[in-house]
């Protein structure tokens, strides 16, 4: 199965994960996307999280780290994440340059492990759904085989799976053109493995929660702009602030999670935009 990261949890009764996604950073401080300075909103999110003074066992970052493809922007992300002094694992989104990610994150000790053994009871698996040059996602046969093998080898552990693209329709017609195209294949693997208890993703810049094949499935808000829910065409939300998700993995196989958002939000998008 290749290398994996093995971590002990701070509390014997549960593990805590911080889920961050879709930061869309720039090399320059002045970089702006859809009316929001995404570097500034990311820093505000990091500051809010640190003010909460919570302790995490693992940070999972699920793609679209940068908007301009620059190594400097990836370094911005890594510098802030390293302030938590907590292991961070990551995967690529449709906007990411994978080679730049690997090079920069390695310099900051952000590990490239796609399997994490967390405490005595849990397993986190990260999947690569990136299709270079496309906004939609796809899990190649090698990724599906990797998932099946990991779940089989660690069948005594409860499993939480992460990817970038959404495998469940979001309710936004325009966004669902950019779904995980072969989500049925992912479903088949999950249905074969009852130890799968959770599935998380980013990409859709929205908070959504489901029960999918008896496991908890959820999307996490972006740290910058949010897409307006239940829209046929592209629309931005002026109501939903940048956010993050905290996940608790209980020893009995259940998952608790909660989304947090910036308070007194000053990061308002330009809602006149019709795409990016």
Could you report the per-residue pLDDT of 214-270, keeping only the tens digit for each? 899 999 999 999 999 999 999 999 999 999 999 999 999 999 999 999 998 899 898
DSSP string computed for 44-112: HHHHHHHHTT---SEEEE-S--BSS--HHHHHHHHHHHGGG-S-EEE---TT--HHHHHHHHHHTT-B-
Q: Show the tokens assigned to 63.
A: 């793609």
- Report the DSSP beta bridge partners of residue 15: 249
Q: Show the tokens assigned to 207.
A: 């908070």
Query: Above 80 in pLDDT, residue 2?
Result: no
pLDDT at 53: 86
| Domain range list for the chain | 5-261
pLDDT at 273: 86
Q: Which of 158, 137, 130 is nearest to 216 (CA)?
A: 158
Q: Show the tokens assigned to 198.
A: 């959770």
Helices (H) and strands (E) in the chain, counts: 5, 12
Query: Above 70 in pLDDT, residue 180?
Result: yes
What is this structure's pTM? Answer: 0.96
Query: Above 90 in pLDDT, residue 130?
Result: yes
Calpha distance 185→145 (Å, rounded) = 11
CATH number assigned to the domain covering 5-261: 3.60.21.10
Query: Above 60 in pLDDT, residue 113?
Result: yes
The CA-based angle 137-256-25, given to 5 degrees, is 45
Cβ contact 15:163 at 8 Å = no
Query: Above 60 in pLDDT, residue 1?
Result: no
Segment 29-48 mean pLDDT: 96
């660690």: which residue's tokens? 154
Distance of CA 3 to the CA centre of its chain: 21
Q: Where residue 271 falls among pLDDT bands split at 50, 70, 90?
A: confident
Calpha distance 171→269 (Å, rounded) = 21
Looking only at the bridges linking them, the beta strands covering 208-212 and 255-261 are unpaired
Q: At what angle do helices 71-81 and 38-51 cross, to 10 degrees?
A: 10
Contacts of 239 (CB under 8 A, 6+ apart): none
pLDDT at 276: 80
């Amino acid at each position: 199965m290749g290398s994996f990261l093995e971590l002990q949890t701070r509390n014997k009764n549960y593990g805590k994960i911080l889920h961050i996604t879709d930061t869309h950073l720039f090399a320059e401080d002045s970089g702006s996307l859809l009316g929001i300075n995404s570097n500034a909103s990311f820093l505000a999110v990091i500051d809010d999280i640190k003010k909460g003074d919570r302790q995490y066992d693992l940070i999972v970052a699920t793609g679209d780290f940068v908007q301009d493809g620059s190594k400097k922007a990836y370094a911005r992300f890594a510098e802030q994440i390293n302030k938590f002094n907590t292991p961070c694992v990551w995967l690529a989104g449709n906007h990411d340059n994978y080679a730049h990610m690997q090079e920069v994150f390695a310099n900051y000790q952000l590990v490239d492990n796609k399997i994490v053994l967390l405490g005595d009871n849990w397993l986190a698996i990260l999947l690569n759904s990136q299709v270079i040059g496309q906004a939609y996602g796809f899990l190649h046969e090698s990724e599906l085989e990797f998932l099946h093998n990991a779940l089989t080898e660690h069948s005594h552990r409860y499993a939480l799976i992460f990817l970038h693209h959404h495998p469940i329709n979001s309710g936004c017609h325009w966004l669902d053109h950019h779904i995980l195209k072969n989500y049925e294949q992912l479903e088949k693997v999950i249905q074969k493995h009852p130890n799968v208890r959770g599935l998380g993703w980013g990409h859709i810049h929205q908070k959504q929660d489901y029960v999918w094949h008896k496991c908890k499935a959820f999307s996490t808000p972006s740290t910058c702009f949010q897409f307006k829910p239940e829209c046929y065409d592209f629309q931005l939300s002026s109501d939903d602030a940048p956010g993050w998700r905290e996940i608790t993995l209980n020893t009995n196989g259940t998952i608790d999670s909660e989304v947090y958002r910036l308070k007194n939000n000053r990061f308002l998008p330009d809602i006149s935009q019709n795409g990016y």
